[in-house]
Amino acid sequence: MLPEIKGLNEECGIFGVWGHQDAAQLTYYGLHSLQHRGQEGTGIVVSDRKTLKGMKGEGLVSEVFNTNTIKELVGDAAIGHVRYATAGGGGYENVQPLLFHSQTGSLALAHNGNLVNANSLKHQLEGQGSIFQTSSDTEVLAHLIRRSGYSHLNDQVKNALSMLKGAYAYLIMTENELMVALDPHGLRPLSLGCLGDAYVVASETCAFDVVGAEYIRDIMPGELLIINDKGLTSERFAMSTTRAICTMEYIYFSRPDSNIQGINVHTARKNMGKQLAMEAPIEADVVTGVPDSSISAAIGYAEAAGIPYEMGLIKNKYVGRTFIQPSQSLREQGVKMKLSAVRGVVEGKRVVMVDDSIVRGTTSRRIVTLLKEAGATEVHVVISSPPIKNPCFYGIDTSSKEELIASDKSVEQIRELIGADSLTFISVEGMMRALGQEGTNGYCLGCFTGNYPTEIYPDTLQYYYQK
Ligand code: SF4
C-alpha cells in the first residue's frame, strides 16, 4: 500500500474573487454554498497586492470563520477551498489553500480533483531535493512551478500544469494575479462569472447566485485563464484536449441549482427519473426519493409514471452527508441518525424508492429496511446511475473495487442483499439521453464502464484495487 495516495482521494470545492473590496466575505459566502463538496476543512487566502494572508482550519465554513476573522482578511482578491478527505488524508496541514512564501513573492493554491501521477512526480521531485510539507497532491504543483526553468510565472505555471495527469481545477494566486486552470479533460466543473467589475470563479454556479454574480462561461479543458487588473487573458497549456466531464457531478455531487456546461443539474436528474420510469415501469402506489440528491430524479419518475410523489423519507438536516464521512462504521451510524421513514405515507403502500447510486449497498439495505419497518408492503428500488463497478481515480470517493457491491455481483444478487422487491439501474444510454446526449463523447463514465479518460499509473491502480 502507498500511504501517501490515501491523502489524494478527495472531492473539494474552490471559489475565487478578483477586484472586489469584500473579497474575503464573498469567498466566505461562496464557500458556504459549496459546503456539500467538502466538510472536513476550509481556508481563505487574500491578496492586498503587497502580500498574501491566509486563514484555515478543520471543520465547516461557519465553524472556521466568523465576522471578526473575515474582517482580518483584508484585500480585494481572494481564493478559498472546502476540503473532503478520506481517513488518513485529513489534518490541518492538508487544509487548503496552501500558501507558500519565497524571496520572489508568494503563491497560494487551491485544488479540486485528484492527480493520478502525483506519487511519480513526488518521488522525482524529492530526488531533486524538494521537501514536502503536506501529504496532499496539491503541493506537487507548487514545487513544479518553482523548479521550472522559465523566467515568467505564466510559463512556469503552464510548464508545471503540462506535467500533471488526472483531474484538476486549480486556483493559483499571487499578489498581482489570479490564475485559473482546468485539466485537459475538464473532469471537474469550473465556471467564470462577474460581479460588477470584479471576476469570480467557482466549482459550481450555485456559488454565483449566492453572491449575486453573473455567469459568463465555463473554463475550457486545458485553459489557463489569467485575471489581473488589466482584465482577462486566456492561454492554453495543453494543445490536445478532450472534454470528459464527470457524470457523477450531475447524478450526485453538484447542487441541483447549479448548471454544468449549460445543463441544469435538477433538470438532468429529473430527466434521469423520467428515463427510469420508461426503463422500469412498476405498479406502485407512491414514489419517494432519498433526500436530498435523489428528490429531483424521484419527481421525474413520478411525473412520467403517473404515480404520486410523496415524502416517504425525511432527512435530519443537521447530520453530515453519508457519502462524505470517512469510515464504514461512521457511514452506517450516519444513516441511522439521518433518515426516517414517514409511516403515514408508506404504511400499506407499494413504494418506488429512487436513489442516486449504490456504492457498498449498506445504505440501500438500511433504507429498504426503514421503509418496510414503517409498513411498506413492497419496496422497488430504482437507481439513477448505472452500477458503479470500478473505482474513481479523479477525486470522488467511490472506494476500492472490492468494496463496490456492483463490481462482482449481478443486479439480482444486489437486490437480494439489499432486501428490495425489485431493483433497476438506469442504463448508460438512458443516462446519456437524460443529459441530452446520443453517445458518450464529452463525459467520463470510468466508474461505470472501466474506460477512463486518462492513463492510470500503476502505483495508483495498486492502491485502489488492494485497499
Ligand atoms: S470515474 Fe466516475 S466518479 Fe470518477 S470522474 Fe469518472 S464518472 Fe466521475
**Which of 37, 183, 246, 388 for mutating ligand 1's site (highest number of atoms within 8 Å of CB)?**
246
Q: Whose CA is nearest to atom 5 of ligand 1?
A: 246
Residues with CB under 6 A from ligand 1: 187, 246-248, 392, 394, 396, 398, 444-447
Cα(403)–Cα(9) distance, integer angstroms? 15
Segment 344-383, tens digit of pLDDT: 999 999 999 999 999 989 889 999 999 999 999 999 999 9
Q: Which of 12, 246, 392, 444 is labelled catalytic?
A: 12
DSSP 121-145: HHHHHHHTT---S-SSTHHHHHHHH
Report the separation in Å between the CA atom of 64 and the middle of ligand 1, taken as the mean of its atom positions.
Answer: 30
Contact 206, 249 (CB under 8 A): no
Identify residue 217 by its one-letter amino acid code: R
Give bridge partners of residue 401 from the DSSP assignment.
none
Predicted confidence at residue 334, as pLDDT, reads 53
Q: Whose CA is nearest to atom 2 of ligand 1?
A: 447
Report the separation in Å between the CA atom of 252 and the middle of ligand 1, taken as the mean of its atom positions.
Answer: 11
Report whether the peptide linkage leading into residue 97 is cis, meaning its omega lies within 30 degrees of zero: yes
Shortest CA distance to 395 belongs to which of 169, 216, 155, 121? 169
Predicted confidence at residue 8, as pLDDT, reads 26
| Ligand 1 atom at shortest distance from the alpha carbon of 443 | 7
Residues 6+ apart with CB under 8 A from 406: 358, 387, 388, 389, 414
Cell of 227: 485575471
- Regarding beta strands 41-47 and 52-58, do their DSSP bridges make them parallel or antiparallel, or are they unpaired? antiparallel
Cα(435)–Cα(451) distance, integer angstroms? 19
Report the separation in Å between the CA atom of 392 and the middle of ligand 1, taken as the mean of its atom positions.
Answer: 5
Cα(299)–Cα(313) distance, integer angstroms? 14
* H/E stretch holding 99: strand 98-102
Contact 228, 177 (CB under 8 A): yes
Report the separation in Å between the CA atom of 446 and the middle of ligand 1, taken as the mean of its atom positions.
Answer: 5
Predicted confidence at residue 27, as pLDDT, reads 98
**In the block, residue with C-alpha cell 475538464:** 186
**Residue 12 annotated as catalytic:** yes
**Which of 9, 183, 248 for mutating ligand 1's site (highest number of atoms within 8 Å of CB)?**
248
Predicted confidence at residue 316, as pLDDT, reads 78
**Which of 447, 454, 456 for mutating ligand 1's site (highest number of atoms within 8 Å of CB)?**
447
Predicted confidence at residue 344, as pLDDT, reads 97
Q: Whose CA is nearest to atom 8 of ligand 1?
A: 246
Report the separation in Å between the CA atom of 380 and the middle of ligand 1, taken as the mean of its atom positions.
Answer: 26
Query: Which phi and psi angles does 34 have, rounded to 5°?
Result: -105, 10
Predicted confidence at residue 131, as pLDDT, reads 85
Per-residue pLDDT of the chain (467 residues; tens, 9 = 90+): 233 333 223 479 999 999 999 999 999 999 999 999 998 899 999 999 999 999 999 999 999 999 999 999 999 999 999 998 653 466 888 899 999 988 888 999 999 988 888 888 988 888 888 888 888 888 899 999 988 889 999 999 999 999 999 999 999 999 999 999 999 999 999 999 999 999 999 999 999 999 999 999 999 999 999 999 999 999 999 988 899 999 999 999 999 999 999 999 999 999 999 999 999 899 999 999 999 889 999 999 999 999 999 999 998 776 554 455 545 565 555 555 678 999 999 999 999 999 999 998 988 999 999 999 999 999 999 999 999 999 998 987 766 788 899 999 999 999 999 999 999 999 999 999 999 998 999 999 999 999 999 988 766 666 666 54
Cα(245)–Cα(241) distance, integer angstroms? 12
Cα(293)–Cα(333) distance, integer angstroms? 19
Predicted confidence at residue 245, as pLDDT, reads 96
| Ligand 1 atom at shortest distance from the alpha carbon of 248 | 8
Predicted confidence at residue 332, as pLDDT, reads 55
Contact 44, 117 (CB under 8 A): no
Cell of 86: 478520506
Report the separation in Å between the CA atom of 253 and the middle of ligand 1, taken as the mean of its atom positions.
Answer: 11
Predicted confidence at residue 12, as pLDDT, reads 92
Q: Whose CA is nearest to atom 4 of ligand 1?
A: 392
